[in-house]
């Protein structure tokens, strides 16, 4: 149990560090910026209380906001994602779990298809909220759409890479 908690804290700190130091400086064609810190919410076990998802989402977003000078954008988007991610896990997770079984979301326990759908829904929500709040306008809908779509694709690529690294056997 303690090792699992330390592992989750390590991933949260690592993803925050990578986002601040590397990923915020990646802008492919001026649009696509990866936001793989959402992966910290995706790997929480199914028995995690909803309030903890929201709290972790808020704290993670607040850390990103603090170090990247985005006042409240990441905190708002990640808090909203923390509210909805458990529903995505229920929707895409295996249905044959017993009452005392805990699902630890990864490509081994869920298989690639359901895990990617789960991650795609969470990433789509995160990127849509993040860039919509950041733009705070619909005057350039094509730029907003390119930002969202490019970031979704790039974030999903990094989530697959992180999943392969984390669950290497």
Query: pLDDT (tens digit, 9 = 90+) per residue, 85-133?
Result: 999 999 998 887 655 567 888 888 888 999 999 999 999 999 999 999 9
- Structural domains in the chain (count): 1
Tokens of 83: 């509210």
Find all residues with CB under 8 Å of 33, minimum gap 6, and list them.
23, 24, 26, 27, 147, 150, 151, 154
The residue segments making up the domain with residue 71 are: 2-95+103-166
Find all residues with CB under 8 Å of 107, minimum gap 6, and list them.
115, 163, 167
Banded pLDDT at 139 (limits 50, 70, 90): confident
Mean pLDDT of 70-81: 94
User: Would you state the pLDDT for residue 117?
Assistant: 96
The average confidence (pLDDT) of the chain is 89
Banded pLDDT at 169 (limits 50, 70, 90): low
Q: How far is CA 46 from CA 55, 102, 111, 141, in A?
A: 16, 6, 16, 36
C-beta separation of 34 from 154 below 8 A: yes
- The 8-class DSSP code of residue 138 comes to S
User: Would you state the pLDDT for residue 98?
Assistant: 56
Give dist(CA 154, CA 46) in Å, integer: 26
Mean pLDDT of 139-143: 87
- Percentages of the chain per state (helix, strand, coil), in multiples of 5: 75, 0, 25
Give dist(CA 25, CA 19) in Å, integer: 9
């Amino acid at each position: 149990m303690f090792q699992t908690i330390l592992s989750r804290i390590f991933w949260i700190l690592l993803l925050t560090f990578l986002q601040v130091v590397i990923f915020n400086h990646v802008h492919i064609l001026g649009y696509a910026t990866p936001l793989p810190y959402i992966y910290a919410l995706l790997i929480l076990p199914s028995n995690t209380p909803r309030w903890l998802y929201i709290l972790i989402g808020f704290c993670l977003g607040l850390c990103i906001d603090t170090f990247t000078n985005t006042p409240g954008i990441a905190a708002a988007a990640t808090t909203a994602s923390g509210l909805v991610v458990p529903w995505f896990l229920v929707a895409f997770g295996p249905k044959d779990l017993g009452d005392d079984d805990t699902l630890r979301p990864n490509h081994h326990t869920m298989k690639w298809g359901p895990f990617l759908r789960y991650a795609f829904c969470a990433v789509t929500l995160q990127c849509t909220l993040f860039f919509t709040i950041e733009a705070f306008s619909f005057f350039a809908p094509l730029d907003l759409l390119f930002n969202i779509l490019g970031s979704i694709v790039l974030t999903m690529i990094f989530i697959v890479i992180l999943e392969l690294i984390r669950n290497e056997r």
